[in-house]
Chain A
Amino acid sequence: MRGDIFSKLQTARRGKTPVTLVDGLDGKIQALVFADRIEGDIPEPVVKEARERLRDNKSGVAEIGGGRWFFDCHNPPLRLIIIGAVHISQTLVPMAAIAGYEVIVVDPRASFATAERFPNVTLIDDWPDEAMEALKPDNRTAVVTLTHDPKLDDPALEIALKSDAFYITCLGSRRTHAKRVERLKAMGFDEATISRIYAPAGLDIGAVSPAEIALSVLAELTAVLHAKPIVAAAA
């Protein structure tokens, strides 16, 4: 790979700018295709293919105009927003990070959201509605609420349900969830929207400990992610 192309690719990845690296499989041409510009000299149909694949996050080979091209899509990492710096979160954070997620923990309660309990993660101590408005969940974002406390979970949920977040779940028993559904209906959400919430949280693997519950949530999230095409966020 040409040094200048690699350097620009790395800059885009660090800046979380979606980009497709295009390789002519004759080894002669390399280019970067962004939503709004191109670095390199490639035919227009190849540019078009690169942008479509970037939007669908679908890397792969295609034959275009008699040449074979490899399209390597680099979208920013999937995000997991966790509401509640609770015990389950302490195990969910490293698991999700290993699975490749950019993890963000939101909890305004100072005694919960400490760097000591949550080393090496982005901790936001704003109220969940403010934090969620700033984070702007998109279709490459999952939202998990774990506080059990309606005054923390609900405001986050309200923004999650108005967003394209691909997975939304809330910890709590069926009874807790039934009450949550009533509150959301009172807030004006219809049933179809409310049914986007996966409840009870996680796959039923008999999880008991915080780590096991975290595992079941991450497993469900993964299943949802791969059951439908996940498209790239708007640039």
Chain B
Amino acid sequence: MTDPTPFASMDDVLGTAEGWLTEGRKVALATVVKTWGSSPRPVGSRLVIDGDGAMVGSVSGGCIEGAVIKEAFEIMDGGAPRLMEFGVSDEQAWDVGLACGGNVQVWVERMEA
């Protein structure tokens, strides 16, 4: 018997983070901590990003990942962790585009080896 559930591995964001850290990559983790309204991904959804912009997982339906990644680069370079908020009430977030009309808070932090 090999890995019992290889299909699930695509969802193992933390496992990916662990692997990347072992390879010596810079890694940031974004986690959905709070949602209001019709946000696409539930609390606890995760996105992991490395220094080259590789990413696994998601914190939305693809609407805010770009903005999160931009922030993640700063944070993985030694920036303090940050709580990012996106929603229709927020001008900047509207630009980023949570088209579903929901609000979401995302905690972005550096992963230490």
Contact = CB atoms under 8 A, between A and B. Distances in A.
Given A98-B7, A120-B4, A3 B80 contact: no
B83 to A, nearest CB: 6
B23 interface: no
A43 to B, nearest CB: 19
B113 interface: yes
A154 interface: no
A102 B4 contact: yes
A119 to B, nearest CB: 7
Given A1-B111, A9-B14, A70 B80 contact: no
A3 B17 CA distance: 11
A73 B82 CA distance: 20
A61 interface: yes
Contacts of B80: 27
Contacts, number: 77
Interface in B1-54: 1-8, 11, 14-15, 17-18, 21, 29, 31, 33-34, 43-44
A151 interface: no
Contacts of A103: 4-5
A226 B107 CA distance: 25
22 contacts: A1-B29, A2-B112, A3-B113, A6-B21, A6-B112, A10-B14, A25-B33, A27-B80, A27-B109, A61-B33, A61-B34, A61-B105, A70-B33, A73-B44, A77-B5, A97-B8, A100-B8, A101-B5, A103-B5, A115-B1, A120-B2, A120-B7
Interface string A46-75: 000000000000011100000000101100
A25 B44 contact: no
Contact of B7 (A1, A60, A94): A94
A6 B105 CA distance: 22
Nearest to B83: A25
B80 to A, nearest CB: 5
B81 interface: yes
